[in-house]
Amino acid sequence: MDLEGIARVLPESIAKQKILEWLSVYKGNNPFNEKIANIIINEVRNSEKAQHFKPTLCGVKAGNAGLGSRGIGDHLIHLKLFELSKRKLSTFDDAGISEDTIVSVDGIHSRLSYFPFLAGFHATKATLRDIMVKGARPLGLIIDIHVSDDTDISYLFDFEAGVSTIADALGIPILAGSTLRIGGDMVIGERISGGIGSVGKIGKKILLRSNIKKGMKILMTKGNGGGTVATTAIYNGMPEIINETLKIDEILTARKINAEFIDKVEAMTDVTNGGIRGDALEISEMSNLSFIIDQEKFLSLINKKVLDMFNLFQIDPLGVSIDSLLIFTDDENLEKELSKEGLEVKTIGYVDEYKGYPILTLEGKKLEPNFRESPYTPIKKVIGNYSPYTLDEIKISLEKAYNSALAKKEEVLKNLKVTST
């Protein structure tokens, strides 16, 4: 619970009452509660004097804009972030490259906050996969974990255990870390947040998405799922499925490809952000291409227990993260050679010129991008896969937020006198 947020949105008298109510939930009848409530209100009042550095509100909130929900809304927001940071669209990958070094960062799944071992395990697996699908050899990991004021310290150790399970299994060191409280004294409760970063070294070849061209075959490996599938299992009451996600098959496959088959691969990515629909949308945006896929082959490569769960709860498997690898190649024999190595992989389709949609089936069915990823928890199903705003309204709001942030950036840059060395 964000006590500072309460003080910012409610009149002071009502805010104080609400803050006292929430303090009593987590702190009990502490004699300091009233003093704390008064101080919070006073601090917020003082902070209003720093209006110049507050954002100019654009009128659209993160949830309604689709931020973090791995669909069209999230995609639009990231395009504007690219523009603000002067990052080229051709670098629309989950990892960034500078010379021969590659880095990636993955936040923990927000719904795994109360399951910190799983949060750490899956965020670590995700960030390593992001650099390995680019052809990199991992050098180390970086941890950033934020806990709330009332988080039991066991959460911190469970999170570290989840991270170090992956690190130990793959022989990758943890290089650095940061541990902080969310909002300092202002956020009470038990929720955690944070992320894991990875650093790697590019080897013989960089497997960028921008390498994908018309005519390439799309190979896919088996997907057992990661943080999203674990979350689906937990909140739909099927905890037995969690163990299916505690595997590193795709990491070992990426390592094998990078070591022995990289000459035959032009690009790799993972089926994560919004599922294969999301991957196709991102790649189509920068290359004007479409995926043509065999839907049955795609489904056959999803862990059967996971797929059965998707079917039971009517979750679209094309729009959710399954943690498979997509391998793009011109080589006619790669599928056979990888299969000989004991890897479960099939050719699920090919890349074609843009057909009006980022992804279509072999039969010509157009798989339209969704505003959000497939709803995979009960609360996501209630919220739905839409926004109260049109895409044009969201774009106008993003432009307003972008221009305000850019103005701040340019004003501060004028005062930064940097000499070249």
For residue 188, the model assigns a pLDDT of 92
Structure confidence by residue, pLDDT tens digits, 287-302: 899 999 999 999 999 9
Model pLDDT, residue 91 = 63
Residue 239 bridge partners (DSSP):
none
Residues in the chain with pLDDT values less than 70: 89-92, 419-421
HEC letters along the chain? CEHHHHHHHCCHHHHHHHHHHHHHHHHCCCCCHHHHHHHHHHHHHHHHHHHHHCCCCCCCCHHHHCCCCCCHHHHHHHHHHHHHHCCCHHHCCCCEEECCEEEEEEECCHHHCCCHHHHHHHHHHHHHHHHHCCCEEEEEEEEEEEECCCCCHHHHHHHHHHHHHHHHHHCCCEEEEEEEECCCCCECCCCEEEEEEEEEEECCCCCCHHHCCCCCEEEEECECCCHHHHHHHHHCCCHHHHHHHCCCHHHHHHHHHHHHCHHHCCEEEECCCCHHHHHHHHHHHHHCEEEEECHHHHHHCECHHHHHHHHHCCCCHHHCCCCCEEEEECCCCHHHHHHHCCCCEEEEEEEEECCCCCEEECCCCECCCCCCCCCCCHHHHHHCCCCCCCHHHHHHHHHHHHHHHHHHHHHHHHHCCCCCC
List the end-to-end C-alpha distance of the chain, in Å, as a whole number.
47
For residue 52, the tally of other CB atoms under 10 A from its CB is 7
Q: Which two tokens stand for residue 112?
A: 């795994």
Q: What are the Cα distances from residue 379, in Å, to 61, 130, 235, 382, 384?
A: 18, 28, 9, 5, 9
State the pTM of this model: 0.90
Q: Which CATH number fits domain 93-206: 3.30.1330.10, 3.40.50.800, 3.40.50.10140, 3.40.50.300?
A: 3.30.1330.10
Q: CATH homologous superfamily of domain 208-386? A: PurM-like C-terminal domain (3.90.650.10)
In 10 A of CB 376, how many CB atoms? 23
